[in-house]
Amino acid sequence: LTSRDGVLDLALEAAPTRVRIGAREASVQAFNSSLPGPTLRIRGGDTLRVAMTNGLEAPTNLHVHGLHVSPEGNGDNPFVSIEPGESFDYEYVLPQDHAPGTYWYHPHRHGHVADQVAAGLYGTIVVEDPDPVPVARERVLVVSDITLDGSGNLTEASPPQRMMGREGETVLVNGQVRPEAAAAPGERELWRVVNACPSRYLRLTLDGQGLRLLGRDVGRLPEPVEVTEVMLAPGNRVELLVDTREGTSTLRTAPVDRGSMGGMMGGAAPGEGPGDDEPINLLILEVAGDPVEEPGPVPAGTALRDLRDEPVDARRTLDFDMDMGMGMGGMRGMSGPGGMMSFTIDGREFDAERIDQRAQVGTVEEWTLINSSPMDHPMHLHVWPMQVVADGDRDVSGPRWQDVVNIPAFGEVTVRVAFEAFSGRTVYHCHILDHEDLGMMGAIEVR
């Protein structure tokens, strides 16, 4: 669905749906009966209007992940709740100079996010590039995972799966198991890959093909960078240029060690069970036929503001932790939604009535994100992109703008944020959606 004359008007229904996954019938939840939901194509300066209807049995809402739009009013507001059978009208106005890129949408009703995304509620938003890279074709690849029982019905996540962050048994690309794609040698393709899994990290490889990273989450890198492997935490997106070479290649995801609750819980965590150490084949690419001519050069991308050399107006620290709840909060921890554990930022679980951080419009802040726990937490901030300025031993010499930044177990990452353009209240949280539902989220008000 593409905007016309600066507007994209859309009726979106979240509802239970029967779909075909290969030869199987499955009962999932989806937007407009389509798994994934429709891809929305808009441009800087556009208005996106969504009339959303809740056809589910639980409350829901809509979030446009990564879009730089006002959090004020009915905009990108995670505090809205749409009850079953009700509707809500969203309007998002993109600034003229909105960063091009691959974004996505999903429900964000606290307490239900992981269940609803795991059930199939997600879709892609493309903000078109005013200086597009010439390519033979573009593919949107939404990677998700799902667990279905023998009759094709969704299964419920167990308490330990929620604590670890559930990983679905079947990994899908655009709602299918291992789809096939075809190209001719010498073509250049643009792949927009969305990690829509609630908790699964992706470590992608594509054997036998030339792979260049064009962008990550928001905007484009100044130059495409050759890569052999790309890592996506839950919520991350990448834009890849595939320079096709003759042969059959497989897009795979290798297992990622994202830590575990170790001795804290007992039982095998994802990545520790039998078979979890095997790569998963996601898509088969068949490159054959007559070679085509070299595509034109890659034009310079619209880079985001580089904050590395800018003065910092304020600094703050956020501490992500999981607590066994044996201390002061012990009893509360036992009875809370996380069962034995509490999932906190700065020692507190999410409270929609509380403002955890206050920042000023027009300032640049530096945030040190600390992970005091034995599991990775991918941190996500709404509305304003983050620029990673320090990440352990990882190279940050080239600019790295992201809206989801992984904080490794017992590690820390430093980011800078320019609180530009908008005021209002929004959230930051762990994008392991089970952790977000269990309380690992905070509210920020920017004035």
CB 103 within 8 A of CB 64: yes
Residue 384 Cβ, how far from ligand C2O at the closest point, in Å?
13
Query: For residues 228-247, which are near ligand C2O according to CB under 6 A?
Result: 235
The three-class DSSP label of residue 262 is: helix
Q: Quick one: which of 63, 139, 188, 435 contacts ligand C2O (CB under 6 A)?
A: 63
Taken in order 36, 40, 385, 75, the sign of the CA dihedral is negative
| Under rule CB under 6 A, residue 380 binds ligand C2O | yes
Pull the structure tokens for residue 18: 């029967």
The three-class DSSP label of residue 205 is: strand
| Under rule CB under 5 A, residue 430 binds Cu ion | yes
Q: State how far the alpha carbon of 178 is from the alpha carbons of 82, 117, 242, 253, in Å.
A: 35, 20, 18, 12
Cβ proximity to ligand C2O: between 116 and 371 the closer is 116
Pull the structure tokens for residue 354: 């509380």
Residue 403 Cβ, how far from ligand C2O at the closest point, in Å?
8
| Under rule CB under 5 A, residue 383 binds Cu ion | no
Pull the structure tokens for residue 402: 């992201």
Site string for Cu ion, 253-292 (x = CB under 5 A): ----------------------------------------
Residue 348 Cβ, how far from Cu ion at the closest point, in Å?
15
Neighbours of 275 (CB within 10 A): 7
| Under rule CB under 5 A, residue 110 binds Cu ion | no
C-alpha torsion 391→235→202→185, nearest 10: -110
CB 204 within 8 A of CB 230: yes
The three-class DSSP label of residue 185 is: coil
Query: For residues 8-67, which are near Cu ion according to CB under 5 A?
Result: 65
With CB under 5 to 8 Å by kind, the binding choice for 432 among Cu ion, ligand C2O, none is: Cu ion
Q: Residues near 213 by Cβ (< 8 Å), separated by ≥ 6?
A: 221, 224, 225, 226, 227, 230, 238, 239, 240
Peptide bond into 84 cis (omega under 30): no
Site string for Cu ion, 330-369 (x = CB under 5 A): ----------------------------------------
Residue 258 Cβ, how far from ligand C2O at the closest point, in Å?
17
Q: Quick one: which of 80, 432, 443, 444 contacts Cu ion (CB under 5 A)?
A: 432
| Under rule CB under 6 A, residue 252 binds ligand C2O | no
What is the rounded distance in angstroms from the CA atom of residue 260 to the CA atom of residue 345? 18
The footprint of ligand C2O on this chain (CB under 6 A) covers a number of residues equal to: 9
Cβ proximity to ligand C2O: between 107 and 301 the closer is 107
Report which residue's Cβ sits closest to ligand C2O: 65
| 184, HSE (Cβ side, Cα atoms, 13 Å) | 11
Residue 335 Cβ, how far from Cu ion at the closest point, in Å?
21
Residue 235 Cβ, how far from Cu ion at the closest point, in Å?
7
Residue 35 Cβ, how far from ligand C2O at the closest point, in Å?
18
| Under rule CB under 6 A, residue 108 binds ligand C2O | yes
| Under rule CB under 6 A, residue 75 binds ligand C2O | no
With CB under 5 to 8 Å by kind, the binding choice for 126 among Cu ion, ligand C2O, none is: none
| Under rule CB under 6 A, residue 65 binds ligand C2O | yes
What is the rounded distance in angstroms from the CA atom of residue 204 to the CA atom of residue 320? 27
Residue (of 370, 404, 354) closest to 79 by Cα position: 354
| Under rule CB under 5 A, residue 418 binds Cu ion | no
Residue with tokens 């890592």: 231
Pull the structure tokens for residue 389: 């300025």
Q: Is 296 exposed, middle or buried (0-12, 13-18, 19+ CB in 10 A)?
A: exposed
Secondary structure element (H or E) that encloses residue 332, with its range: helix 330-335
Give the DSSP letter of residue 274: T
Residue 276 Cβ, how far from Cu ion at the closest point, in Å?
19
| Under rule CB under 5 A, residue 377 binds Cu ion | yes
What is the rounded distance in angstroms from the CA atom of residue 102 to the CA atom of residue 79? 24
What is the rounded distance in angstroms from the CA atom of residue 61 to the CA atom of residue 73? 14
Residue 284 Cβ, how far from Cu ion at the closest point, in Å?
31
| Under rule CB under 6 A, residue 429 binds ligand C2O | yes
Cβ proximity to ligand C2O: between 220 and 382 the closer is 382
With CB under 5 to 8 Å by kind, the binding choice for 429 among Cu ion, ligand C2O, none is: ligand C2O
| Under rule CB under 6 A, residue 259 binds ligand C2O | no
Residue ranges in contact with ligand C2O by CB under 6 A? 63, 65, 106, 108, 235, 380, 382, 429, 431
Residue ranges in contact with Cu ion by CB under 5 A? 65, 377, 382, 430, 432, 435
